Chains A and B, each alone.
Chain A
Amino acid sequence: MMQLNAMAVLFKSLMGDVSGADIGKSFELMGKGMLGIFIVMILIYAVIVILNKTSGTNKDTK
């Protein structure tokens, strides 16, 4: 029943019908997308910090 409600057309907009399911997925995309990007960025951040600490010799300063 919940699934059916989510699939239902909520209102008609400029470009067509807007469904609850699509709105829900767009917000899910926002949450998971931003979280995913920050996870990847933090992982890369950690890798850079480790690399900078462990490869101290052979400096090529910029």
Chain B
Amino acid sequence: MSEFSFLTNGIQYMAQNPKMLVMWVIGALLIWLAIEKDFEPALLLPMGFGAILVNLPLPGVVGESGIVKWLFEKGIVASEAFPLLLFVGIGAMIDFGPLLSNPRMLLFGGAAQFGIFLTVVLAVLLGFPLKDAMAAGVIGAADGPTSILVSQVLHSNYIGAIAVAAYSYMALVPIIQPAAIRLVTTKHERMIHMPYNPKAVSKTTKILFPIIVTLIAGLVAPDSVALVGFLMFGNLIRECGKLEALSQTAQGPLANLITIFLGITIAYQMRAEQFLTLGTLIIMALGLFAFVFDTIGGVVFAKIVNLFLPKDKKINPMVGGAGISAFPMSARVIQKMALKEDNQNHILMHAVGANVAGQIGSVVAGGIILNLARIWGMI
């Protein structure tokens, strides 16, 4: 009978490691959220399946020559290639036109990063080491690849939890943002109309914009240049007008391929012994805090700007909330809220401008955090 013990070794192993069973439940929950609730299915489904895959007995996919371990070491640890390559696809998807015709929206893309830094302070007060606090704060970038890259470069112990939080809360933007915005605005403010008179944007501007933004990021915040550079490279492919096939490939097959492997690769950090900790729970809570205060930061900044504007030029403060980089979901949420208050209030294009500015703001924020970490000798 003992000759067949190899068939029961796995079951015995699981009995001795019940935490792995909890990870199966978490994996199943992520898959359920992806399929039934449509929560960022492209990322949460691979992560959910990966959470089950990496919590199977014996070497499996995480042993010395395990495929998930190899993908993590080569695609994330060694080069940060996966999140960066995904940025080429994201850059090719983004139309910066609404921002280029209304560039003051850039300021909201900056203000709405406030939650990142407030979260770092809170995380430090909760007792996290500074590097983990900084990584947790970047969940507020509302930008999965940036969160993964920064937490990896900082060698955070919570990269798995941070990725799960970043993508989960992005899916929850339609719930989080309206609640946060209502908390700090009056009905009257939410009903402010903003006429949209877009200025013409030349093709030359659209081509030079990604190049110049890369130069500025490289000179002012050098650690953001990989993120900004790859984002802008994707955008240049889109806007140059000569590489339509490459643009479509970057937006479609490239982004899809990377997404498939990014989710399952991040799951390497969802091994039970690493993931099932009090720290993970607190990181999830900090991520929510970061999202809420990013939104509030943008909204309050718009309210401050309004103090200096004439009555007919006031900004609907909800547009400030779109300065987080959950693109394009945040802009859609803001437009929906505006229509709910007044069915003739169309602020979508302003919100889109703030939203794409948030995409730039979040990668710059990530780069500045890495810059300071380097100056402080943390990396």
Contact = CB atoms under 8 A, between A and B. Distances in A.
A32 B206 CA distance: 30
Interface string B123-154: 11111111001100000000000000000000
Given A29-B372, A40-B220, A52-B100, A34 B127 contact: no
B221 A36 contact: yes
Contacts of A25: 124, 130, 376
A42 B126 CA distance: 34
B116 interface: yes
B216 A30 contact: no
Interface residues of A, number: 41
Interface of B: 95, 97-101, 103-104, 106-107, 109-110, 113-114, 116-118, 120-121, 123-130, 133-134, 198-206, 208-209, 212-213, 216-217, 220-221, 278-279, 282, 357, 360-361, 364-365, 368-369, 371-372, 376
A41 B109 contact: yes
A37 to B, nearest CB: 4
Q: Which 4 A/B pairs are nearest by Cβ-Cβ distance?
A: A13-B127, A15-B127, A62-B97, A30-B117
Contact of A37 (B113, B128, B372): B113
Contacts of B97: 62
Contacts of A23: 121, 124-125
B206 A41 contact: no
Q: Which of B120, B206, B376 has the most CB of A within 10 A?
A: B120
Contacts of B117: 26, 29-30, 33-34
Contacts of B98: 62
Q: Which of B110, B209, B357 has the most CB of A within 10 A?
A: B110
Given A15-B128, A62-B101, A57 B202 contact: yes
Q: Which of B99, B124, B199, B360 has the most CB of A within 10 A?
A: B124
A60 B198 CA distance: 12
A49 to B, nearest CB: 6
Contact of A60 (B99, B203, B217): B203
Contacts of B206: 60
Nearest to B372: A29
A15 B282 contact: yes
Contacts of B221: 36, 40
A16 B123 CA distance: 11
A3 interface: no
Interface string A7-32: 00000111111100011011111101
A30 B107 contact: no
15 contacts: A13-B126, A13-B127, A16-B127, A23-B124, A25-B376, A26-B123, A32-B372, A33-B372, A34-B113, A41-B357, A44-B103, A45-B104, A48-B100, A48-B209, A52-B103
